[in-house]
Amino acid sequence: FSVALRCHGKRCRPFANSTLNKAIPRPILIATSPLAKIQKRYAAQAGASNGTWRPVSVLDEWVAKEARPISLRQLMVFGRSLTESRLISSANYVRTELPVRIAHRIRDMQQLPYVVVTNPHIEEVYQLYYKAFDTFRKFKEIKTLEDNEKFCEVISQNLKGHLTVIPKLAMGILECGRLMDPKELDHFMNVILRSRISRRVIAEQHLSLTETFNSPYFSPGATLSESDFIGEVFIKCFAKDVISRCAKAVTQLARSTNGPQVQVPEVKIDGHLNASFPYILSHLEYIVGELLRNSVQAVIDRHQQQPDHASSPPPPIEVTICEAQEHVIIRISDRGGGIPRDELPYLWSFSKGPQSQKRLENLGQVPRMAATMQELHVTDELGRADLKAPTYLGSLSTLTSRPPNLRLGMGLPLSRVYAEYWAGSLNLHSLEGYGVDAFLQISRLGNKNEQLTTRASMDA
Ligand code: COI
């Protein structure tokens, strides 16, 4: 098809010709006469009596519902004193919320140009999403702890099954870079990734609460202390501790990928060393880990090019923590020479960039990805992982492992999606020939709702 067939408003019909799954509605949208014949043929194949489109009312029904966003504070308050009835309410919130959130993204996909949505990678994600949508919308109301156990099984299976989503989407988007306005593609990718994070947060939070509830040490209604996690939410996340642990992990990674002889820059931390805030630890580790990884590698590469590099250590990476009334800002400054001019316009793009072909090749080697620091298999001298791995991921580390030196080219844009999801921001300033300053702003009070819709920075 050289013609982009677009989804027609809200209606869609079963795609009778699909070799994949006949029950899954496919986006076929054709409006005017040159294509009317095809439209009719498909309609007839679908068994529509008079050749008109059959509405897929079930999806429409769910798309019509609004997502109900939550804040970190709500997650904490809700999980702070856990009882059976709270656990059951949590289960039913997830049961009804997941299909709403997935339905919106299915509709977004249906509205992509036909050539994009039929890209095999995007199509695979579409099928996966439709299946998950169907599974969750059909799940009966959860009334007992036994129902909840079954529900948790389904969530876990879906969390594992959806580990292919990030590499698939990333490959699809790169392959479609020339078929659609890259800005629109990037916008689509940002929304779909943000929504994915949101679904995983509510699903993982529920699994965590269930795990807490089932623990032999748990007494219903008991209130947790400040230093604890409530589900996946780390109540008092100290910026300095997270940065130190990520720096250690990134240093080990740099040694293993550049060789033990290489001089790795020191990471110095100053500023408000006691700053803390509630956050999902794995999100913060991912962002800080990616920023430090970029800085460390840039400094190593630049230092190697200096004639006297063997006799002098590389310049340190300086991290400053600034605690303001509503935000914590983390600035990461390196002297790695700045970002090459040809890469600057594509820094935040999933769909375009000078290394697109290489990125595609590398992504092809990563069938599954959780987008956490843990999956890079960072271990200490004793072979132990240094970062807290989410429990549900524990047994998955081998499933998601990827060669740590592969550059997928999405660390920065994905970090920004994570930062903006909890109403924060991520920006870079490159000083050509000198280095980069990265600014990560985090909402400190945990009272901001998850940001499910468009990215402010993209719309600007
Ligand atoms: C995703 O990872 O994309 C999900 O939607 C997970 C959810 C179905 C539990």
pLDDT in tens, the chain (460 residues): 333 333 333 333 333 333 333 445 555 444 433 333 433 444 444 444 454 544 457 999 999 999 999 999 999 988 888 899 999 999 999 999 999 999 999 999 999 999 999 999 999 999 999 999 999 999 999 999 999 999 999 999 999 999 999 999 999 999 998 899 999 999 999 999 999 999 999 999 999 999 989 988 888 877 766 558 898 999 999 999 999 999 999 999 899 889 888 999 999 999 999 999 999 999 999 999 999 999 999 999 999 998 887 788 999 999 999 999 999 999 999 999 999 998 999 999 999 888 888 888 888 877 777 777 766 655 555 455 555 555 554 544 555 556 666 777 889 999 999 999 999 999 999 999 999 999 999 999 999 999 987 654 454 3
Ligand 1 near 132 CB (within 6 A):
yes
Measured by CA distance, the residue closest to atom 8 of ligand 1 is 158
Specify whether the CB–CB gap between 154 and 160 falls below 8 A: no
- CA separation for the pair 419, 279 (Å, rounded): 11
From 93, 196, 198, 232, mutation site for ligand 1 pocket: most ligand atoms within 8 A of C-beta: 196
Q: What is the largest CA-CA distance in the chain?
A: 82
Measured by CA distance, the residue closest to atom 2 of ligand 1 is 162
Please tell me the distance between residue 192's alpha carbon and the centre of ligand 1 in angstroms.
Answer: 11
Please tell me the distance between residue 156's alpha carbon and the centre of ligand 1 in angstroms.
Answer: 9
Please tell me the distance between residue 456's alpha carbon and the centre of ligand 1 in angstroms.
Answer: 24
**Closest ligand 1 atom to Cα of 196:** 3
**Radius of gyration (C-alpha) of the chain in whole angstroms:** 23
Query: Does the pTM of the predicted model rise above 0.90?
Result: no
Interacting residues of 282 by C-beta distance below 8 A, sequence separation 6+: 232, 372, 373, 374, 388, 390
Q: What is the ipTM of this complex?
A: 0.96
Helices (H), 165-311: 165-175, 182-214, 239-258, 281-305
Report the run of H or E that residue 51 belongs to, with start and end. Answer: none
Nearest C-alpha neighbor of 28 from the set 47, 48, 9: 9
322: buried, middle or exposed (CB in 10 Å: 19+, 13-18, 0-12)? middle
Give the CA distances from residue 42 to residues 24, 117, 458, in Å, rounded to whole numbers and listed in that order.
14, 17, 37
Ligand 1 near 291 CB (within 6 A):
no
Ligand 1 near 253 CB (within 6 A):
no
3-state secondary structure of 212: helix
Q: For 221, phi and psi rounded to 5 degrees?
A: 85, -10
Ligand 1 near 159 CB (within 6 A):
yes
Ligand 1 near 155 CB (within 6 A):
yes
- CA separation for the pair 216, 198 (Å, rounded): 29
**For 35, which DSSP code?**
G
Ligand 1 near 196 CB (within 6 A):
yes
Ligand 1 near 200 CB (within 6 A):
yes
Ligand 1 near 173 CB (within 6 A):
no
